Amino acid sequence: MSSVASHFADSYAEAREKFCASVAATGGSLRSLRNPTLGPDGGRLFMDVARYGADDAPKMLVLMAATHGVEGYCGSGAMINWLRAGRVASLPADTGALLIHGVNPHGFAWIRRVNEDNVDVNRNFVDHGKPHPPNAGYLAIADALKPVSYDDASLAESKRVIDAFTQEHGAFGFQQAVSGGQYSHPQGLFFGGHKPTWTNRTIRRVIREELSHARLIGCIDFHTGLGPFGYGELINVSPPGSAAFEMAKHWYGEEMTSPEQGSSTSAVVIGAVLDAFSQEAPEAAFCGIALEYGTYPVDEVLEAVRRDNWLHIHGDLNSTQGRAFKAYLRERFYPAGAKWAEMVWTRADETIGMALRGLASS
């Protein structure tokens, strides 16, 4: 195994151990916020937050892994490689770093995109005091996406509904309907929740407690599942024309994409975790992107999510089918082998470098 790949992990427990050891070896301070649930092995689950630099550093680099649970294997490996490569040593005096490992530790440990409440954490940061946004497309296909049994007859029927929807709205219209976020089906896919999740409450606290002194925050939230294998797309979910959007354009250039401008592989999403930074650290200018790594074709990725959703509601995790579904999902969000891991790290190092140059020049 290459040394780069050796910093990636096979389980949440292994990832956490490697992360905490790397923080200790590089002189970071670490705080661990416990999630109230347990992992499949009965182990405890944490959002681990490592901090580097002066307590009052006005500029802060923030890296986040596992907003989407299983996608955390990617972000974890990237962060650990960044630490092991000694990059902390070259942070300027006015710049600190905050590495948030296990944003959604439950999904990370259980090999799921969602959290302990079947909530897509990255659709949960909406104002729950207001009516939740409707998703008419999802309503049309909700039942087809979640057949009661995963047998040939129900799959044929749901395929008929999905094919008809895709015929009418296009493949990207289908992706938008499924993955844009929905607030009507708590047991469905990409459900945004009806109240702030543990992750939502906890990360807001971390932002308030760790970033109140910051005047400029450059954040990278690691994701996987969209785009060409191993390529990291720089996605900006801020409204085009906003100050955050313009700053990101300045930092990352023309390769930065925008779902709202139609230039991204991602659907337009609402309630993203990055929205919390400006709300909880209003004194700081914020420049955040999602670094989205490709794995497999999007229809396979959505099918993996659909199988996992069915498995946890109707299936048996310990059955042959359950294990096969789980392995399918894992590969779709965390491809095995050193090649993908090496591509992840190379692109992560490059992108973090862009963020640091942006922090230095803004």
Which positions touch Zn ion (CB under 5 A)?
68, 71, 223
Report the alpha-carbon distance of residue 80 to residue 322 in Å, rounded: 31
**Pick from 85, 168, 71: nearest CA to 120:** 71
Residue whose CB is nearest to Zn ion in the complex, by number:
223
CA angle 179-185-187, nearest 5°? 95
Q: What pairing do the DSSP bridges indicate for beta strands 29-38 and 44-52?
A: antiparallel
Q: Residue 16 or 68: which CB sits closer to Zn ion?
A: 68
Q: Residue 211 or 226: which CB sits closer to Zn ion?
A: 226
Residue count of the chain: 362
**Pick from 92, 66, 86: nearest CA to 11:** 66
CB of 307 to Zn ion, least distance (A): 17
Report the alpha-carbon distance of residue 278 to residue 214 in Å, rounded: 11
CB neighbours of residue 297 within 10 Å? 12
Q: Residue 96 or 107: which CB sits closer to Zn ion?
A: 107
CB of 224 to Zn ion, least distance (A): 6
CB of 157 to Zn ion, least distance (A): 29
Report the alpha-carbon distance of residue 53 to residue 96 in Å, rounded: 4
CB of 64 to Zn ion, least distance (A): 11
Q: Residue 290 or 352: which CB sits closer to Zn ion?
A: 290
CB of 71 to Zn ion, least distance (A): 5
Please report how many Cα atoms fall inside a 13 Å half-sphere around the Cα of residue 313, on the Cβ side: 20
Q: Residue 51 or 223: which CB sits closer to Zn ion?
A: 223
CB of 223 to Zn ion, least distance (A): 3
- CB contact at 8 A, 197 and 115: yes
For residue 342, give every residue at least 6 positions away whose Cβ sits within 8 Å of its Cβ, in sequence order, or none.
2, 4, 5
Q: Residue 48 or 221: which CB sits closer to Zn ion?
A: 221
